[in-house]
Amino acid sequence: MAIGRPLPDYSATFNSTYKITLDMSGWDKTTIQTSGAVLGTINILGSNDGGANATSQGDAQLAINFTPIQAKNLATGSMVNAIYGAGLFEVDVNAQYLRLQGSPASAGTNVYRLMMFNSKIG
């Protein structure tokens, strides 16, 4: 049996901090949807390094050492590691943490709507 979980619109968070980082533990896939204009670029990054140290197990907010990962543009079938405009992008979850990072990571990078849907197959 497959299960799914829609997540809230992250555009306000992304537009104020220019990134969102999520713990994807337990999910097989996520679909990212951007709608309206995307100003700048949204890089798709993954990491298994939760930033743990002697006093913390780490979490999405402490996660470090992100590297580019691929997503499938569902309109074209092509693999991308950045989002430049509106569309649906499917990511196979192979890292614990997923980050969507604006580039440039400052004012000038924003998105009208940024939504996600996590799914677990079987």
pLDDT in tens, 18-67: 999 999 999 999 999 999 989 999 999 999 999 988 887 889 999 999 99
User: Could you state, in order of their start, the residue ranges of all structural domains in the chain?
Assistant: 3-49+65-120
Q: Show the beta-strand stretches assigned E in the chain.
A: 3-6, 19-23, 29-39, 41-47, 67-68, 71-73, 79-80, 82-83, 87-92, 97-103, 110-120
Average pLDDT across the chain, whole number: 93
- Count Cβ atoms below 10 Å from residue 6 Cβ, excluding itself: 11
pLDDT, average across residues 98-108? 85
pLDDT of res. 11: 94
Contact 52, 58 (CB under 8 A): yes
pLDDT of res. 1: 64
CATH for 3-49+65-120, options being 2.60.40, 3.90.930, 1.10.3470, 2.60.120: 2.60.120
Is the whole model's pTM more than 0.85, yes or no?
A: yes
Map residue 47 onto helix, strand or coil: strand
Q: Which has more confidence, 105 or 1?
A: 105
